Amino acid sequence: MQSPVIDTPVLIIGGGPAGSALAIELGWRGIPCTVVEEGDGTVDHPRLGIILTRTMEFCRRWGIVDRVYNCGFNNDYRLNVVYSTSMTGYLLGRDENVSCNELQPPPQSPVKRQRCPQMWFNPLLEHAAKEYETVDFRHFHKLNGFEDAGDHVVAHCYDSRSGQAVHIRARYMVGCDGAASSVRSALSIKMSGRPVLSYSINIFIRSRELLARHDKGEAERYIFVGPNGTWANLTVVDGRELWRITIIGNEQMMNLAEFDAEQTVRQCLGTDDIPFELISVKPWRRTELTAERFRKNNVFLVGDAAHTMSPTGGHGMSTGVADAVDLGWKFQAVLEGWGGSDLLDAYDAERRPIATLAAATSANNFRSWVSVPDCENVLQEGPAGDVCRAAVGQHMLKAGREDWDSLGLQLGYRYETSPICISDGTPPPPFSVLDYVQTARPGSRAPHAWLADGSSTLDLFGRGFVLLRFSADVSSASLEDAARESGVPLTVITITDPEVARLYERKLVLVRPDGFVAWRGDACPQDASQVIDVIRGVPTRALASV
């Protein structure tokens, strides 16, 4: 029997969070795509658990934010961070946080972060992707190789259920196939950065009694410090009975044959008396790596295939989802014919610096976790031990802040070097991982503000470009004409609320389909067609700030 050949505009390799997010983004835009995933969709060992605010904003646009809020996590469980010597050992410090239910969205966003472990988040995204008729999601399909033929890609897959080869011809292919990406290897794209921050081991356990049998109170994470520094942490998974322990390790690979997982769990618990069931043990390598390019001809890298980072801060998956959102509208533009020949290159220019920043921030978080000064006496009884524990507690509380509180990076990442955003000549505001001051400066996420009807400004963005007009006196005609002539979908929305106008700072603000500001000014630019050409990736002569 002849192997089937499938035609698709976009082929996505890998149906993890990055692949599913890209499929949703394309489905939402009406762009057909095919996802091939070698597994069956089951997550037997959850890694990610925290869904940061920017990802929740995308989930709001996709109409699935309530599904994430109501994913099944115990939303009454308090998300403190506890520093201790074990679950039943000395308490070193506690960062008090509220539960998911009590948490309010930050003033800069209509949504808030949410805990949703991967065994629920992956299927939730996959389910949302499959709701689009245009998304063809195929499990048990493994990519074995591909050729880039210049104007299309042919991918050779294997359906492990039918035993059949399946060939897929796509205009574009995207490797969302994780850290060990075979797509990236086939393209000979190198990763740069730090290949080993530590060799770590995850231990996934069930313990129904843990919560009732320790004295540290509810926490999102319990971080264990010993005389040699931080050596492990225990993370909540479902807020009831599932927990994940991470043994931090070091730059030397651990000898797994000698690793006693049960004994290690008991060490974390600080007692032999709390019963638990060992579900799975997974070694992994903590890295700070970014691919040297995110695109080669018709093939793109998204998610962990493009960048890997320490989970300290919870930025890994969220960075991948933001890649997918950045790429989705660009695919729509070129496939519908209104995107220029440079548009897809802007994906690399925009996302690679952000991935490098997120990976560096995550590595800094990791370093401040593990480098604990003067902790030799942390287990010692008596006054010398008390003094040591107080100092270690203070150090950890300070060191942990960027890890738990990073709105500046989550919402404030900006496309400073983007070739498709037009500078307005204002200097970049200072960047802080911690603090986020909203700005409508080109290259930045368009600010959130509540509108009179209870919606957010963010709800206005997505389908095409949006020209926000903050004064009835200013004409938007030449931009509208230029957009119409080049087929760029553009909606003009007039906002009269002076507070929102103040936030956006100019009378006209042009927002891209991914919610980033492309251009702003107090009047239409002299050469509106050139502005429209730049923002849709048509090669143009150099444009001064307009």
Ligand X SMILES: Cc1cc2nc3c(=O)[nH]c(=O)nc-3n(C[C@H](O)[C@H](O)[C@H](O)COP(=O)(O)OP(=O)(O)OC[C@H]3O[C@@H](n4cnc5c(N)ncnc54)[C@H](O)[C@@H]3O)c2cc1C
Applying CB under 6 A, the residues found at the interface with ligand X are: 13-19, 36-39, 47-50, 142-143, 176-178, 182, 202, 246, 284, 303-305, 311, 314-318, 320
| Between 121 and 470, CB nearer to ligand X | 121
What order do you get walking across the sheet with 221-226 strand by strand? Answer: 91-95, 81-84, 221-226, 229-236, 242-247, 191-206, 277-291, 307-308
102/77 Cα distance (integer angstroms) = 10
* Tokens matching residue 61: 């646009």
* 466, β-bridge pairs: 491, 511
| Least separation in angstroms between CB 520 and ligand X | 31
CB 458 within 8 A of CB 433: no
| Between 147 and 386, CB nearer to ligand X | 147
| Least separation in angstroms between CB 149 and ligand X | 20
539/481 Cα distance (integer angstroms) = 19
410/405 Cα distance (integer angstroms) = 9
| Least separation in angstroms between CB 257 and ligand X | 22
| Least separation in angstroms between CB 308 and ligand X | 7
| Least separation in angstroms between CB 59 and ligand X | 13
| Between 178 and 400, CB nearer to ligand X | 178
Backbone phi, psi, residue 492, to 5°: -100, 130
| Least separation in angstroms between CB 16 and ligand X | 2
495/33 Cα distance (integer angstroms) = 36
| Between 177 and 533, CB nearer to ligand X | 177
CB 481 within 8 A of CB 505: no
| Least separation in angstroms between CB 21 and ligand X | 8
* Tokens matching residue 281: 């043990």
| Least separation in angstroms between CB 421 and ligand X | 25
- For residue 192, count other CB atoms closer than 10 A to its CB: 11
| Least separation in angstroms between CB 138 and ligand X | 9
Task: Look at residues 158, 130, 129 and name the one whose alpha carbon lies nearest to residue 142.
Answer: 158
| Between 125 and 449, CB nearer to ligand X | 125
- Please count the CA atoms within 13 angstroms of the CA of 254 that sit on its side-chain side: 20
Looking only at the bridges linking them, the beta strands covering 465-469 and 307-308 are: unpaired
| Between 86 and 308, CB nearer to ligand X | 308
* 184, β-bridge pairs: none
DSSP, res 305? G
> Exposure pattern of 93-110 as b/e (b: 16+ CB <10 Å)?
bbbebebbeeeeebebbb
